Structure 1
Amino acid sequence: MKKKVAVIHPEAGFSSSGGSQLSAYEMAEHLAEFFDVKLLSSSKCSEHSVVIPCIPRGKVKKLQRSKTMNWLLTRFVTNPSLLIEAITSFLTYTPYLMLKRFDVVYPNNDYGGLAVAAVIRKLFNTPILYTERAGMVSNGKVLRRNLKFKPDCLVVFNEGTKSYVHSIAPQQRVEVIPNGVNLEKFSPNGEKFDHGLSGKVVLTVGALNKQNHKRIHLAIDAVSRLDNVSLLICGDGPDIQFFHNLCEQKLGANRFKIVKVDFSDIPNVYRSVDMFTLPSKDEPFGRVYLEAMASGLPVVATDDAMRRALIGNAGIVCDVTNATEYSNAIAASLSKDWGSTPIEQSSGYSWERVAEQYADVIDTL
């Protein structure tokens, strides 16, 4: 009899704008080859979905677009969307897991899912598998908080994060497993997005929020220093008008476009450009770099250990805070024939290979 695995993410199916939502969906799809998998979410998104009502963070974020609602919701907490999702999902997901016994609980929605899993482990001794997707963002603040739940196995994306975990929790079991990419979906072959931009086109993808770690303003500045190069920004967020105004100021009206597309159309966007860049700080992993490389694009990114390992010879890492160095790297990337190198680099991160590593870990639990 196959082991029963509960994968948790209330936002899966409701939104595809975050890495954890997509990873939960992809993981459930590929782990189903090895186990009896149920994806607990607030929306139907696959044959493995079990729809359990709650208020996912995306619904709260939509309310926050109203200045009045945002003021009310943020009076007492800095991240009301995550808190409301955590509370409402705790009230509905916990009873379900008490009735439907699983062999492993795998939450993917930060402390909300971990709280549910902790209760189930307390009652039934059910082991917890958890992937820390925040990594060292905010100097490991989220990581340290989630370690308090003491998952039976913690998965991180690189050896540096593993070493940090062991420095503060020596007894914690930690495995290093990368994220995956859907190589069937992301490839150079297929339809292209009609962006209408001229010259060479650089793509960046990310939430348009001045407070996050994506630092898209650095990409805007770097591209503005190049001739006959346009910038396509794919994303949405509370500060979209700020980034629109910044692009108009730096690039002019005809050298940029900001678009929001359904996740199913994202592969077409990658195929429509010449290269990809994202100048994040402390990006925990960076699924978008894999998607870009699988689509045949070279990448220019922040020079850190994770990016050097992820990108390999399929792009250029540099000091993105140095505008001259960053723009020179983009220019060099656009002028080079990269051949099949980006595709070859991404091939080692297929979801099939990643799921096999997770299956091995689950078998030990």
Structure 2
Amino acid sequence: MKKKIAVIHPEAGFSSSGGSQLSAYEMAQHLAAFFDVKLLSASKCSEHSVVIPCIPRGKVKKVQRNKVADWFLTRFVSNPSLLIESMTSFLTYTPYLMFKRADVIYPNNDYGGLAVAYVIRKLFNTPILYTERAGMVSGGKVLRRNLKFKPDCLVVFNEETKRYVHSIAPQQRVEIIPNGVDLSLFSTQGESFEHGLPGTVVLAVGALNRQNHKRFDLAIKAVSQLNDVSLLICGDGPDLRYFTSQCEAALGANRFKIVKVDFADIPKVYRSADIFTLPSEDEPFGRVYLEAMASGLPVVATDDAMRRTLIGDAGIVCDVTNVAEYAKALSTAIANDWGSKPVEQAADFSWQRVAKQYAEVINTL
């Protein structure tokens, strides 16, 4: 009999704009080759979905687009969308797992899912598997908080994070497993998105929020230094107007486009560009780099340990805060013939490989 794995993420199926919900969805799909998997979410998103009502963070974020509502909600807590999701999902997901027992619980929605798993473990001794997707962001603040739930196995993305965990929790079991990319979805073959931009097209993908770590403004400045190069941004968020204004000022009306597409159409967007860039700071992993490389695009990104590991020789890392250096790296990447290097690099992170590593860990719990 196959082990029963409960993967938790209320936002899966409701939104495709975040890495954790996409990873939860894809992980459930690929773990199903080894286990009996149920993805507990607020919306139906796959044949493995079990819909359990709650208020996912995406619904709260839509309400927050109203300035009055945002002011009211943030008067009490800095991240009301995550808190409301956590509270409402705790009230519904915990009873479900009390009656529909699992062999391993794998929360993917931060402390909300961990709280559910913690209670179930107290009651039934059900082990907890958890992937810390925040990494060392904010000096490891989120990581330290989540360690208080003491998962039976913590998965991180790199050796640096593992060392940090053991420095504050020496007994914590830690495994290093990367995120995966769906090579059947992201590839060089298929339709392209019609953007109508002139010249060489540089693509950036992510949430449009000045408060996050994506730093689209750096990409805008770097592309503005290049001739016959356009910028395509795929994303949405509270600062759409702000970044539109930034692009208009730096690039003019004809050298940029900001688009929002359904997740199913994102591979088309990658295939419509010539090069990919995202100058994030403290990016815990960066699945978009894998998606871009799987689609045949070379990458220009921030020079740090995680990006060097991900990109390998399929792109260029540089000091993106230096506009001249960043622009030069983009120009060099555009001029180079990268051949099959991006696709070969992405293949090292296929979901088949990643799911097999997770399955080996789950079988030890």
1:51 aligns with 2:51: yes
Between the aligned partners of 1:138 and 1:195, the Cα distance in structure 2 is 36
SS in 1 for 2:363: helix
Cα displacement string for residues 318-365 of structure 1 (whole angstroms, at most 9, x for unaligned residues): 000000000000000001110000000000111011000000000000
Give the equivalent residue in structure 1 for 2:112. Answer: 112
Give the equivalent residue in structure 1 for 2:77. Answer: 77
Q: For residues 13-162 of structure 1, what are the structure 2 equivalents within 5 Å?
A: 13-162=13-162
Q: Supply the AA of the counterpart residue of 1:104.
A: V
Between the aligned partners of 1:198 and 1:144, the Cα distance in structure 2 is 47
Shift of residue 66, structure 1, vs aligned partner = 0.6
Give the equivalent residue in structure 1 for 2:163. Answer: 163
Give the equivalent residue in structure 1 for 2:190. Answer: 190
Unaligned runs of 5+ in 1: none
Give the equivalent residue in structure 1 for 2:7. Answer: 7
Cα displacement string for residues 231-250 of structure 1 (whole angstroms, at most 9, x for unaligned residues): 00000111111100001111
Moved more, 84-93 or 139-148: 139-148
Between the aligned partners of 2:101 and 2:260, the Cα distance in structure 1 is 40
Q: Supply the AA of the counterpart residue of 1:25.
A: Y
SS in 2 for 1:230: strand
SS in 1 for 2:237: coil
Give the equivalent residue in structure 1 for 2:309. Answer: 309
SS in 1 for 2:348: helix
Cα displacement string for residues 65-111 of structure 1 (whole angstroms, at most 9, x for unaligned residues): 11111111111101000000000000000000000111100000000
Unaligned runs of 5+ in 2: none
Between the aligned partners of 1:209 and 1:138, the Cα distance in structure 2 is 17
SS in 2 for 1:300: strand
Shift of residue 61, structure 1, vs aligned partner = 0.3
SS in 1 for 2:10: coil
Q: Supply the AA of the counterpart residue of 1:119.
A: V
Between the aligned partners of 2:25 and 2:236, the Cα distance in structure 1 is 21
Shift of residue 146, structure 1, vs aligned partner = 0.4
Between the aligned partners of 1:22 and 1:332, the Cα distance in structure 2 is 32
SS in 2 for 1:58: helix
Between the aligned partners of 2:165 and 2:237, the Cα distance in structure 1 is 32
Between the aligned partners of 1:142 and 1:188, the Cα distance in structure 2 is 36
Give the equivalent residue in structure 1 for 2:219. Answer: 219
TM-score, normalisation: structure 2: 1.00
SS in 1 for 2:221: helix
Cα displacement string for residues 243-281 of structure 1 (whole angstroms, at most 9, x for unaligned residues): 000011111111100000000000000000100000001
SS in 1 for 2:233: strand
SS in 2 for 1:178: coil
Q: Supply the AA of the counterpart residue of 2:293.
A: M
Between the aligned partners of 1:295 and 1:102, the Cα distance in structure 2 is 37
Give the equivalent residue in structure 1 for 2:241. Answer: 241
Shift of residue 54, structure 1, vs aligned partner = 0.2
SS in 2 for 1:258: strand
Between the aligned partners of 2:192 and 2:101, the Cα distance in structure 1 is 45
Aligned residues: 365
Between the aligned partners of 1:162 and 1:328, the Cα distance in structure 2 is 34
Between the aligned partners of 2:270 and 2:38, the Cα distance in structure 1 is 31
Shift of residue 62, structure 1, vs aligned partner = 0.4
Q: Supply the AA of the counterpart residue of 1:322.
A: N
Q: Supply the AA of the counterpart residue of 1:58.
A: G
Give the equivalent residue in structure 2 for 1:340. Answer: 340
% identical equivalent positions: 80
SS in 2 for 1:325: helix
Between the aligned partners of 2:188 and 2:230, the Cα distance in structure 1 is 20
Between the aligned partners of 2:174 and 2:314, the Cα distance in structure 1 is 29
